[in-house]
Amino acid sequence: MTTPMLQLQNLKKIFSRNGQAGFIAVDGVSFDMAQGECVGLIGESGSGKSTVANMIARLLNPDEGRIILDSADVTRAGVRAVCRKVQMVFQSPQESFDPRRTLGDGVGESLLNAGKSAAEAREEVARLLEAVGLPPDFAGRYPHEVSGGQCQRAAIARALAIRPKLLLCDEATSALDVTVQAEIVALLSRLIRGRGMACLFICHDVALAQDFCDRLLVMHRGKIVEEGPPDEIVQSPKQEYTKLLIDSVL
């Protein structure tokens, strides 16, 4: 049996309020992901989806549980320990770039950190921008000089720069209009399948996740309440919460 690329084991995260722990954002979440698999994590706002992603990316520490990445326990590892294997694409692309630096600087930063020369990084940035459907001269533009869809394409290029094994998309299309959203999803699908990456696609749009993902996980109040093939989840939901979630958006 093939070892999963990612394993979450009973993850729990409790946030404090007024200095006292009390709000359980993630409560015993466990699931595996295979290399090349696209898993949709769906649920309403506040269900704990982003907290799960932030723990995987090591932006947050779990209070309980384990995170196994490529057979290594990274539960307490820092961001730098996992950033070559895990990259995130966020909901608001403009906010994820430094407004004082060009898109090319943002896309190329990880390449320079990996030891490439400035000339090598510039060439790779141009290739990455072309791969996501942007002209190479966009490397000289600033985040505020491009549209939301164009900026998100650049953010995807940045995430792909060091060829991660896992891409975390945290509501990566929700701030875009429907037409641009479809373009970004098609782009992600092509790049993920072409590069053999795994993708955790966090989304509250059930129909979008159904079309894009290989498997769906339904999250409610910090727990995974249902999982399965997308069509099965949407057409024959077993849990009452899943039925209500689907009825509210379809």
Name the pLDDT band for 20 (thresholds 50, 70, 90).
Answer: low
31 and 46 Cβ atoms separated by less than 8 Å: no
For residue 100, give both structure tokens.
Answer: 């004082």
C-alpha distances (whole Å) from 241 to each of 11, 111, 210 are 21, 44, 17
Class of domain 6-85+164-249: alpha beta
Write down the pLDDT at residue 250.
59
> Among residues 28, 37, 30, which one has the least CA distance to residue 2?
37
What are the pLDDT digits (tens) for 77-98?
988 889 889 999 988 888 889 9
What are the pLDDT digits (tens) for 102-148?
999 999 998 998 889 999 999 999 999 999 999 999 999 999 999 98
Interior angle at CA 57, CA 53 and CA 60, nearest 5: 80
132 and 187 Cβ atoms separated by less than 8 Å: yes
Write down the pLDDT at residue 1.
58
Name the pLDDT band for 247 (thresholds 50, 70, 90).
Answer: confident
What are the pLDDT digits (tens) for 210-221?
988 999 999 999
Q: What is the pTM of this model?
A: 0.91
Write down the pLDDT at residue 155.
92
What are the pLDDT digits (tens) for 1-17?
578 999 999 999 999 87
What are the pLDDT digits (tens) for 46-62?
899 999 999 999 999 99
Write down the pLDDT at residue 93.
80
**What is the rounded distance in angstroms from the CA atom of residue 53 to the CA atom of residue 59?**
9
Cβ within 8 Å of residue 34, ≥6 positions away: 2, 4, 5, 198
**What is the rounded distance in angstroms from the CA atom of residue 166 to the CA atom of residue 84?**
9
Burial 18-35 (b: 16+ CB within 10 A, else e): eeeeeebbbbebebebee
Residue, of 16 and 156, whose pLDDT is higher: 156
What are the pLDDT digits (tens) for 100-115?
999 999 999 989 988 8
Q: What is the mean pLDDT of residues 183-197?
A: 87
φ and ψ at 87, to 5 degrees? Answer: -130, 150
Rounded-to-10 torsion of CA 122, 166, 37, 171: -90
C-alpha distances (whole Å) from 243 to each of 43, 125, 206, 209, 222 are 11, 44, 11, 15, 18
